[in-house]
Chains A and B, each alone.
Chain A
Amino acid sequence: MKEFKILAVIVALVGITYYGIEPYAHSVMHPEVSPADFTFKDAKNVDTSLAGNVDNGRVLVEANCIACHAIEKAGHPALMPNADAAASYGVVPPDLSHAGRIYDKNYLANFIFDPVTAMHLEHKYPAGGAKAFPMPSYNWMTPQEIMDVVAYLQSVAPKVSEGKEGHKATFEAACGRCHSMAYAKFEATTPKDSIKTYMGATPPDLSQYIKSRGEHYLHSFINDPQVLLKGTSMPRVGLTEVAQEEVISYMEEIGDSKKAERESLGLWVMLYTFVFAILAYLWKRKIWSEVH
């Protein structure tokens, strides 16, 4: 009985200390922020309830977008190599093949209307400032036309397989123009020097971000970087919740590839240790019965 009391005192003291320096201290250092908003409800320049017309969208896209953007899946290859594109625009313009799938519809429509406000980058590209975002606003289009473009992009977006291959496709489309992933042997499509000039700093390699930032942080951060890192030049990219989860899954598959092995082996090791502990207890009882 007395030994249990001693154990209880130790567990209590260690528990209080642990609570203080881990969950509590981290909650002080990293306060909770407003939850991720996958409806992008602050973006309301375009009436997204309008049904888009795919055929009209195709005409609009071919007239307005493919001068800069590739859409490989719809037969529009890139016009120049990545290095030249980066030199021309600052960053490689995204191939729009996956745009209709990975970006939220509301976000995408409002992005076309005015990229800078949709991305929450007004601090980097103030109205009338010296620097202009490489893509112009299409606020002269009618909401119907914008929704036609969105409908077209959604129609050409290929389905991706579930699992790592699909996650990889989403990651590369969503993050891969700026971020490298060394542990997946993936290099950002925009060359290092260009992206550094364009963003102001080299965007970090994401190989270990699942560990250094963790799923919880990434969940808010990717949804809207400004919430956790005010003033960052990383744009809000407007991923749907599904696409964002695919990105985070990929980061885990690359950055913590042994997770499944760790968790299954862990149970076996604990079971083994438990059996050892029970046997040790029985042996101790036997031995000590002679001396008591």
Chain B
Amino acid sequence: MAEFKQADSMYEWFDQRLGIDKFVKVMMTEYWIPKNINFLWAMGVLLTVMFTLLVVSGIFLLMYYKPDINMAFDSVNYTIMQEVAYGWLFRHIHAVGASVVFLIIYIHMFTGIYYGSYKKGREMIWISGMLLFMLFSAEGFSGYMLPWGQMSYWAAYVITEIFGGIPLIGGDLVVWIRGNFYVADATLTRFFMLHVLLIPLAILGAIVFHFYALRFPHVNNEAGEFFDFDEEAEKYLAGDKVNSKVVPFWPVFLSKDFFVLGFFLLFFFYLVFFHYGFAMDPINFDKADGLKTPAHIYPEWYFLWSYEVLRGWFFEIAGISGKSLGLMAFGFANIIFLVLPWLDRSPMVKPANQRPYFKYWFWLMIADLMVLTEFGKLPPTGPNAWVGFGASLVFLVLFIALPFITKAEAKKVGGK
């Protein structure tokens, strides 16, 4: 152990023991971010803030929520919403936040795809991000069950039922997940545990990993330019801030993020106080009733596209039932984004619009996801079912074709 000299100030006392100086440099003032960025680069900080809001509001809700099928509904809609001081505020922040966090996740994710920020050394950033997406999905799904309304119950019923389609183990798996033969008290209690403990712990770990994964390949920039971060950092530290291609995380990068955050929060709080219906479905204000199926069952908006990929396959093809085909397509849709870095065979790291073939693929993919989302909500009857099938098929074809499209692009641009 090094010899300690008498500290002259409290700051020095802590610095000797915790290395504050060094820590602040590594984490903040000498953590370098490219300067050539736009407001889309603020989504990570927005997500961190949203996650914090969800955790804090969740802690307040946890103090009054009762995970029991006889008490859950009233503990939310009466105790929290009407009895507890500002309980309604925490519930609104939590419910709207859970929905809006997915909007930002999607923007964050498609920004990554648009700018090619998932390849040439950035694969682990992408994978840890997709892992977070999956964890947030599980968190959203488990949380949606807790108010024990009609949509909580029936969405849980429909989604857990999906696992029943897996060959051999399907039936047993569904019972294992539910803890009963139907969605029941055991299901609610275990989803409560998952929602407030296991998944949040995993999310925290994954966030740390995601941030860590950014350290070595560094954050991408608007032009997809590769440069020597150390060299640019030296330039900055030497005082040539204008010509350096990097800025420190604090205060420069964060000052821009706070500005974006400010206007984002304005939008967010507008939703929380005045326009929350999209995140708090009216049907869910009817208490769960296993004997009364709602006329329309649909998941929250952020699951609609993958739900439609599942639902689009409604007829038998070559002796395989529509249900099995849908399940396969659904499985495909849920893992395919994870392997995106290896599906994109083109070496170009550029904004999609500057890539000769990829740009068509990107905008087609966005359009297809929008169609899937829309038809995932509409009743799957008549022509709707066929549009759903078509969009689901296009989704599969797009991802199967991506390696070929990008290979051709690589050939065209000659390895640039």
**Residues of A bordering B, CB below 8 Å:** 2-3, 6-7, 10, 13-14, 16-18, 20-22, 24-25, 28-29, 182-183, 204, 207-209, 211-214, 257-258, 261-263, 265-267, 269-270, 273-274, 276-281, 283-284, 287-288, 290-292
Q: How far is the CB of A144 from chain B (nearest CB, A)?
A: 47
Q: Contact at A18–B278, with CB atoms within 8 Å?
A: yes
Name B278's contact: one of A3, A22, A209 (CB within 8 Å).
A22
15 contacts between A and B (CB under 8 A): A2-B38, A3-B39, A17-B301, A21-B377, A22-B277, A28-B379, A29-B295, A212-B286, A266-B269, A273-B266, A277-B262, A280-B258, A283-B259, A291-B35, A291-B252
A291 and B247: CB pair below 8 A?
Answer: yes
B231 within 8 A of A: no
Given contacts A6-B38, A21-B373, A270-B273, contact A14 B255 (CB under 8 A): no
B107–A10 touching, CB < 8 Å: yes
Q: How far is the CA of A6 from the CA of B115 in the complex (A)?
A: 13
The answer to whether B321 has its CB under 8 Å from any CB of chain A is no
Given contacts A207-B78, A212-B282, contact A284 B39 (CB under 8 A): no
B53 in the interface (beta carbon within 8 A): no
Contact of B282 among A211, A269, A279 (CB under 8 A): A211
Other than the given A212-B283, A212-B286, 4 more pairs (CB < 8 A) read A28-B379, A208-B286, A263-B273, A291-B244
Residues of chain B within 8 A (CB-CB) of A290 are 241
Main secondary structure of the interface of A (DSSP, over half): helix
Give the CA-CA distance A287 to B82 in the complex, in Å: 45
- Are B265 and A276 in contact (CB-based, < 8 A)? yes
A262 touches B255 (CB 8 A): no
A288 and B255 contact, CB distance less than 8 A: yes
Measured CA separation A265–B266 after assembly (Å): 14
Task: Give the contacting residue for A13; candidates B89, B261, B266, B366; CB below 8 A.
Answer: B366
Inside 8 A of A21's CB, which chain B residues have their CB? 278, 301, 304, 373-374, 377
A18 to B39, CA, bound (A): 22
Bound Cα distance from A110 to B304, whole angstroms: 49
Q: How far is the CA of A9 from the CA of B299 in the complex (A)?
A: 26
Q: Which of B241, B262, B366 contacts A273 (CB 8 A)?
A: B262
| A280-B255, A284-B259, A287-B255 as given contacts; A3 in contact with B38, CB under 8 Å | yes
CB–CB A266/B274 < 8 A: yes
* Smallest Cβ-Cβ distance to A282: which chain B residue: B259
Please, what's the 1-or-0 string for B243-282, where 1 marks a CB less than 8 Å from any CB in chain A?
Answer: 0100100011001101101110110011011100110001
Interfacial chain A residues near B40, Cβ < 8 Å: 6
**A13→B82 contact, CB < 8 A:** no
Q: In the complex, what residues of A have CB within 8 A of residue B378's CB? A: 25, 28-29
Contacts of B39 on A, CB cut-off 8 Å?
A: 3, 6-7
CB of A205 to closest CB in B, whole Å = 8
Binding site for A on B (CB under 8 A): 35, 38-40, 74, 77-78, 81-82, 88-89, 92, 103, 107, 241-242, 244, 247, 251-252, 255-256, 258-259, 261-263, 265-266, 269-270, 272-274, 277-278, 282-286, 295-296, 301, 304, 366, 370, 373-374, 377-379
CB-defined contacts of B277 to chain A, threshold 8 Å: 22
Q: How far is the CB of A234 from chain B (nearest CB, A)?
A: 16
* Given A276-B265, A284-B258: A25 in contact with B377 (beta carbons within 8 A): yes
How far is B363's CA from A13's CA once the two chains are assembled, in angstroms? 11
How far apart are the CA atoms of A270 and B284 in the complex, in Å? 27
B residues within 8 A CB of A208? 77, 285-286
**Bound Cα distance from A38 to B266, whole angstroms:** 42
A contact residues around B242 at 8 Å (CB): 291-292
Q: Once bound together, how far apart are the Cα atoms of A17 and B374, in whole Å? A: 7
- A292 and B273 CA atoms in complex are apart in Å by 38
Q: Among A183, A214, A283, which residue has its beta carbon within 8 angstroms of that of B82?
A: A183
Once the chains bind, are B370 and A281 in contact (CB under 8 Å)?
no
Within the complex, the shortest CB–CB distance from B149 to chain A, in Å, comes to 8
Given contacts A270-B273, A291-B35, contact A280 B261 (CB under 8 A): yes
Partner of A20, one of B244, B296, B373: B373
Q: Kindly state the separation between the CA atoms of A276 and B266 in the bound complex, as whole angstroms.
A: 9
Whether A212 touches B377, Cβ cut-off 8 Å, given contacts A266-B269, A288-B252, is no
Q: Are B262 and A281 in contact (CB under 8 A)?
A: yes
Instruction: Name the residue in B77, B269, B366 with the highest tally of chain A Cβ atoms < 10 Å from its Cβ.
Output: B269
Q: Which residues of B contact A13 (CB under 8 A)?
A: 366, 370
Assembly CA distance A214 to B281 (angstroms): 11
Residues from chain B with a CB closer than 8 A to the CB of A277 are: 259, 262-263, 265-266
- Look across to chain A and name the residue whose beta carbon is closest to the beta carbon of B246: A291
CB atoms of A274 and B285 under 8 A apart? no
Q: Which residues of B contact A20 (CB under 8 A)?
A: 370, 373-374, 377
B374 smallest CB distance to A (angstroms): 4
| Cα–Cα distance between A290 and B373 once the two chains are bound (Å) | 44
Please determine whether B259 and A281 come into contact, CB atoms closer than 8 angstroms: yes
Distance from B81 Cβ to chain A, minimum over Cβ atoms (Å)? 7
Q: Cβ of A214 and Cβ of B78 under 8 Å apart?
A: no
Shortest C-beta distance, B286 to chain A (Å), equals: 5
Q: Is the CB of A284 within 8 A of B38?
A: no
Is the beta-carbon distance between A280 and B259 smaller than 8 angstroms?
A: yes
A35 to B343 Cα, complex, angstroms: 55
- Decide if A257 touches B247 in the complex (CB within 8 Å): no
